[in-house]
Structure 1
Amino acid sequence: MPTFVTDAIDRRILSELQRDGRMTNQELSEKVGLSPSPCLRRLRQLESDGLIIGYVALVSPEKLGLGVTAFIRVRLDQQDDRHLSLFEEAVAQFPEVMECYLMTGDADYQLRVVVDDLKAFEDFLRHKLTRIEGVSQLTTSFALRPIVYKTALPIGGST
C-alpha cells in the first residue's frame, strides 16, 4: 500500500479538515498559514492523491433512535476464498453494519452493528447474519456507552 510523504502544511490541512470539513478555503488557509490559492492547490492535490477520500456529516445515532451498538465476532466454518467473499459481499449490503474487519485470532470477522433496539438486533441476527452461508459461530458484546469515539486520524507532526 503506497504512502504519501506530506509536509507540515499538508498535515495541518488534513488535521484542520478532520476537525471541520465544512470550513471555507479562506478559513483553512488562515489556519494553516497559506494564502488561499496555494492552500486550494494543496487541498486539490491531497484529494487527487487519495489522502482525502470524502467529506461526511457525523449524525447522532441516539437522536435517530439507534440506541443499540453491538460488536459481533463471527467465525466461518471454512476460510476459503469463496466463503470469505460470500460473507463480505453479504455484510456489505446490510445497512446495520457500520464496520467489518477481517481479523486474526479466534474470530474471522469483527462487526460493529447499530440498530434501534434489541428486537431489531434479534431480527438482524435471525434474518440476515445467520443466513449467510458458512457462518458457524457468533459472539456478541453490547456497548454500554462510548468512552472514546474519534473520526480524526492521528496525523504526526500536525501541530
Structure 2
Amino acid sequence: MQDERIDRFDRKILALLQADARLTNNDLSERVNLSPSQCSRRRQRLEEEGFIAGYRATLDRERLGFSLVSVVSVTLATHNRDNARRFADLISRLPEVQEAHALTGEMDYYLKVVTPDLKALSRFVNEELLPHDSVQHVKTAIVLETLKETGALPL
C-alpha cells in the first residue's frame, strides 16, 4: 500500500482498528503515541477519504446456526453483459452468499455460501441457482475445515 496521503501513524491506526474497531481515540492514542485529538482527526480523515469503509460486528457463524460452509463454482449459460448482470442481481438477493468473485479460467464465478445444513444447501443449489436462466452449471464443494479466514489487509 503506497499512498502518500497516509503515513506510518495512519497505517498503525488502520491496523489497530482492523483488529478491534471498538478502540476509542484514547486507546489508539496510547498505542500509536499521538494525542487523542490527533487520533480523532486522523480517524475522521481516514473515514472521509474512504480508507475506512465502515465498521461491523463479527458474528459467530456456528453459534447462529450456519455450520455448513460451501464453495460453489458457477458457469454461466451465455457470456454477455446482460447475463452477467442477471446473475449479479440474483447473487445480491441471496443472503447465503458471503462472497462472490468473477474469475478467469474454467469457471465464471466462485461463491462462498453458508447454510445451516446439507438440506438447506441442496435447496439453495436446486431452487435458487440451477433454475436461474443465467446459470448453466454449478459445482459444489463442502468445506471440511477452515485453516484461515480473515478480511484483514496486510498493513
Which category describes the TM-score, using the shorter chain as reference length?
A: over 0.9
- State the Cα distance separating 1:43 from its structure 2 match: 0.4
Tell me the residue number matched to 1:20.
20
What is the number of residues matched between the two proteins? 153
Tell me the residue number matched to 2:130.
130
Tell me the residue number matched to 2:78.
78
Q: Secondary structure of the equivalent of 2:124?
A: helix
- Determine the C-alpha separation between the residues in 2 that align with 1:127 and 1:137: 14
- Determine the C-alpha separation between the residues in 2 that align with 1:83 and 1:42: 43
Letter in 2 for 1:94: L
- State the Cα distance separating 1:4 from its structure 2 match: 3.7
Superposed CA deviations along residues 63-109 of structure 1, whole A, max 9, x for unmatched, are 01111100011001211000000000111110000000011110110
Extract unaligned runs of 5+ from structure 1.
none
- State the Cα distance separating 1:131 from its structure 2 match: 2.2
Tell me the residue number matched to 1:61.
61
- State the Cα distance separating 1:151 from its structure 2 match: 2.3
Q: TM-score of the superposition, structure 2-length normalised?
A: 0.95
- State the Cα distance separating 1:150 from its structure 2 match: 1.4
- Deviating runs (4+, > 2 A) in structure 1? none
- Determine the C-alpha separation between the residues in 1 that align with 2:44 and 2:53: 11
- State the Cα distance separating 1:134 from its structure 2 match: 2.0
Give the % identical residues. Answer: 38
- Determine the C-alpha separation between the residues in 2 that align with 1:115 and 1:8: 41
Letter in 2 for 1:98: Q
Tell me the residue number matched to 1:115.
115
Extract unaligned runs of 5+ from structure 2.
none
